[in-house]
Amino acid sequence: MKKCLQTAMILSLLCLLLSGCGDKKKGSELTDKLEGINKPTVNQEESAPKEELPPEDDDNDEADTVKPSENNDDTADSPTEEGSQHKSLTEAECKAKIELLRDTEPVLPAETELLAEMASCVTGPRILDEHGMIFSKMDNNKRAALRDQFLEYIMWDETAFTGAIPVESADGRFEADKIISLKDALGFFREVYGEEDFTPAPFEQVQDGYFLLSFGDGDPWEWIEHMQFFEDEDYFLLTGPSFYEDNGGCINFVGYADILFEKNPESRYGVTLLYGRYRNEKINVASVETSSELPEANGKIYWGMNLIDDDPTTVWAEGVPGTGVGETITLHLDKVQPVYGVVICNGYTASYKQYTENGMPAEVSVDFGNGNAVRKELEGYAFEDISPVYLAECNNSKVENDGPVMTDTITITILTAKKGTKYDDSCISGIQVY
């Protein structure tokens, strides 16, 4: 009996050893798959097949697309599969998650700078809208714009992505300033926003396995201010008021950005961009009270409600002799709520003629209540044949606090003003509260 037991134990031990050898073989195969991939991540066996370089034959869609590899038995229990559960959220689920996070207290995560720069890459190329989008499933032109923005951040100094992947000089090999390996870039895109396949957009320069990059200037951009962060076990949320701007000084409030990140241990940065939108919200002004207004003339009304009608061709004009220094505009909001600031559209922006002939404030004080008053010089310009919409954007000025102020009343006072070529009256065409 004792001998039988010893035999059974020996057989069991041999089975265990054989099983261990099998696992070791699988581990060797996994090591072979990861060999040559220059990424500091943990389990990346899906990366190699996806990073094959696409041929440049535009007539062959199959060849032009780098497709993700299919999961096999070796990766079935990997963290990548768990992470993919977050990526598979629908847009409705992303919106619901955002609302849940916004109901929590803001945090200041250790990843603040990284999250802010990733958000800047999203807003910079102006791809967000109020409908919302899952970044990995955007149309290819929008994904190409996002790719281009990240590549610029990789090339610039002192960003969170500087040095993320090697940047080479073109050295006359290509008509470009810099080149980046397509293989390296695709691995990076997959980690930072979940690129599922890659097809070059018409405006992307891809040649001989490289992205060709040239320095440029002049494109308008959007950015987020007063960022707030929210967090739960699986996600980060970044929110804040967002603005459009261009090199000509035009500025416009475009809405409140919501950008959702998933926590992803498979990404070198620990997070992946998941979903973004501009929240369709607006701070409503219930009424406008002014210290004076120009009397109606030639069928035109110059009352304070023109300031909130979103029409650059209507205007408020003060009605006292002189340039209107000391005159006030008081905005009554529909409720007490957090306010960051106001955008003032200065001057009479219905046309170049109206703008130049009439006066306008040069400096104002904006009192948000509770001792929060801000002084600001208003700047702007005009040129002939300019449209009212563009003229208004050229004369928008932000006046804001360092952070949100709880208020339902905002008072604007004209501190200094300048005359027009024909009239002294100070004019303002619009005010937006954010």
User: Are 254 and 314 in the same domain?
Assistant: no
| C-alpha span between 430 and 52 (Å, rounded) | 53
The label of the residue with tokens 């919409």 reads 389
The number of folded domains in the chain is: 2
> Do 303 and 294 touch, CB atoms closer than 8 A?
no
Please tell me the predicted confidence (pLDDT) of residue 215.
Answer: 77
- Per the CB < 8 A criterion, the answer to whether 237 and 252 are in contact is no
The phi, psi pair for 337, rounded to 5°, reads -160, 165
pLDDT of amino acid 222: 97
* Residues 95 and 135 occupy one common structural domain: yes
- Pick the closest to residue 191 from 96, 51, 75 (CA basis): 51
Helix (H, G, I), strand (E, B) or coil at 3: helix
Mean pLDDT of each 10-residue bin along the chain, 434 residues long: 37 37 34 32 36 40 40 37 56 97 97 97 96 95 96 90 93 90 96 93 94 84 97 98 93 96 96 96 96 95 98 98 98 97 98 98 97 96 96 97 95 98 97 98
Is the residue at 213 inside a domain?
Answer: yes
DSSP line for 127-178:
---TT-EEGGGS-HHHHHHHHHHHHHHHHSSSSTTTTSS--EE-TTSSSSSE
Token pair of 107 as six digits = 């945090």
Q: Tokens 């000509």 belong to which residue?
A: 248
Q: Is residue 70 part of a domain?
A: no
Could you tell me the two tokens for 244? 């459009």
225 and 355 in a single domain? The answer is: no
What's phi and psi for 138, nearest 5 deg? -65, 165
Whole-number pLDDT of residue 221 = 95
- CATH code at 294? 2.60.120.260
The reply to whether 146 and 270 lie within a common domain is yes
Q: Return d(Cα 355, Cα 394) in angstroms, integer.
A: 12
The predicted pLDDT at position 156 comes to: 87
3-state secondary structure of 271: strand
Q: Would you say residue 311 lies in a domain?
A: yes
pLDDT for position 214: 85
Does residue 292 share a domain with residue 184? no
User: In which domain, by residue range, is 400 found?
Assistant: 285-433
Last residue within a domain, chosen from 279, 307, 328: 279
Is 66 a member of any domain? no
